[in-house]
Structure 1
Amino acid sequence: MTYFSCVYRYPDGDENIVRLRPVHREFLASLKEDGKLIASGPLTGGDALIVLQLPGEATVADAEQLMDQDPFTQEGVLHGREIRPWNPVINVWEN
C-alpha cells in the first residue's frame, strides 16, 4: 500500500461547507468501504486531515484524481488542498 495525507483548508462554519458536508461525508464513506480511507477529521484551527491508502505504486496524481471527486473539490469550496505521500514508520493499519 501507498499512503497519503490530504489536508483540506477551509474556514469552519462556512455556509457552503456546511451545505455540502453531508455529501462530502457520503463520499468519504464510499472511500472507506473501498478500503481507501484510513481516517478523516478536523484539525485544530479549521483545517481537516484525510489519510488515504492506495494500492501498489500509487502516486500523488492518483490521490489527487481520487480526491477531485469529493463534492468539496467539485464545488470549489476549499481554500486549499495539499496531498503528500506519507510513510508511516509504525503502521497500525497493515496486517
Structure 2
Amino acid sequence: MTNFMVEYTYTDDSAKRDELRPVHRAYLESLVSTGQMLAYGRFGQDGPAGALLLVAAESSDEVEALLAADPYVLEGQVGSHRIREWIGTWGAIPR
C-alpha cells in the first residue's frame, strides 16, 4: 500500500456542507474501519475552506474512486482536490 495526501478545497456553500457533514463523516469513518483512511480533518480559518485526508491505497486511481463516493464530492461541495503520494518518514498517524 502507498500513502496519499488529499487536499480538498470546498465551495462557498457552508450551509450545505453543514447539512451533509454527518453523512460525510460517516463515510470517512467507514474507510477508517477498512484501514484505507489514516487520518482526516478540516483546515483552520487561515485560508480557504478545505480539508486534509491521508489515505492508504494501491494507486491514485483507487484514491479517486474512494473520493468519488464521498457525499461532499457527490453533492458538489468539493470545488477541487489534489492527490499526492506521501512518504511518511517518522511519527505516528493519529486515528
TM range (shorter): 0.7 to 0.9
Q: CA deviation at 1:91?
A: 4.9
Match of 1:77?
77
Q: Among 31, 50, 59, which residue is 1:47 paired with?
A: 50
Match of 2:36?
36
Question: Under a length normalisation based on structure 2, what TM-score does the superposition of the two structures give?
Answer: 0.84
Fraction of identical pairs, as percent = 33
Q: CA deviation at 1:92?
A: 2.8
Q: Deviations for 1:16-52, whole angstroms, at most 9, x for unmatched residues?
A: 1111111000001100011111111111332210101
Secondary structure of the residue aligned to 2:78 is coil
Q: How many residues matched? A: 90
Structure 2 CA distance for aligned equivalents of residues 74 and 86 of structure 1: 25
Question: Under a length normalisation based on structure 1, what TM-score does the superposition of the two structures give?
Answer: 0.84
CA RMSD of aligned residues (A): 1.6
Q: CA deviation at 1:11?
A: 5.1
